[in-house]
Amino acid sequence: DADVTQTPRNRITKTGKRIMLECSQTKGHDRMYWYRQDPGLGLRLIYYSFDVKDINKGEISDGYSVSRQAQAKFSLSLESAIPNQTALYFCATGSWEDGGFTDTQYFGPGTRLTVL
């Protein structure tokens, strides 16, 4: 089984709809992240969480919200989707200790979201 799973893998929705993307991990990592990738560009950080009930804004948090329901689950919501939120969304996990990551970050397979 994959270490980091994302659901759904693909989603097409309409402007104004509320959308939730879900992420689960089996790595036991404390830190979880949501990234967005636009065509031809690198990944940009939306939100991240160091532990349950700890939420931090990333570079591009406007229009998004998150919930860390458990150590293994981190969901991303688009409250009212708009076309420029069409992108590939990645969830990632990491383990942090003594001022640094103890291991590589693990990425999910991505969710391809299209907002019409």
Partner 1 sequence: GIQVEQSPPDLILQEGANSTLRCNFSDSVNNLQWFHQNPWGQLINLFYIPSGTKQNGRLSATTVATERYSLLYISSSQTTDSGVYFCAVNTDKLIFGTGTRLQVFP
First-residue to last-residue Cα distance in the chain: 33
Our finding on whether 90 is near partner 1 (CB under 8 A) is yes
Distances (CA, A) of 114 to 24, 47, 56, 80, 87: 22, 20, 25, 13, 7
Our finding on whether 2 is near partner 1 (CB under 8 A) is no
What's the rounded Cα separation, in Å, for the pair 87 and 52?
A: 26
Q: Site for partner 1 (CB under 8 A): which residue of 29, 33, 66, 115?
A: 33
Select 18 or 108, whichever has its Cβ closest to partner 1: 108
In angstroms, give the least distance from the CB of 83 to partner 1.
Answer: 20
What's the rounded Cα separation, in Å, for the pair 64 and 80?
A: 9
Q: Site for partner 1 (CB under 8 A): which residue of 12, 80, 101, 116?
A: 101
The interface with partner 1 within residues 48-87 (CB under 8 A) comprises: 48, 58
- Number of Cβ within 10 Å of residue 56's Cβ equals 12
Whether the Cβ atoms of residue 77 and residue 69 lie closer than 8 Å to each other: no
Select 38 or 79, whichever has its Cβ closest to partner 1: 38
Note the residues at the interface with partner 1 (CB under 8 A). Answer: 33, 35, 41-45, 48, 58, 88, 90, 92, 94, 96, 99-101, 103-107, 109-110, 112
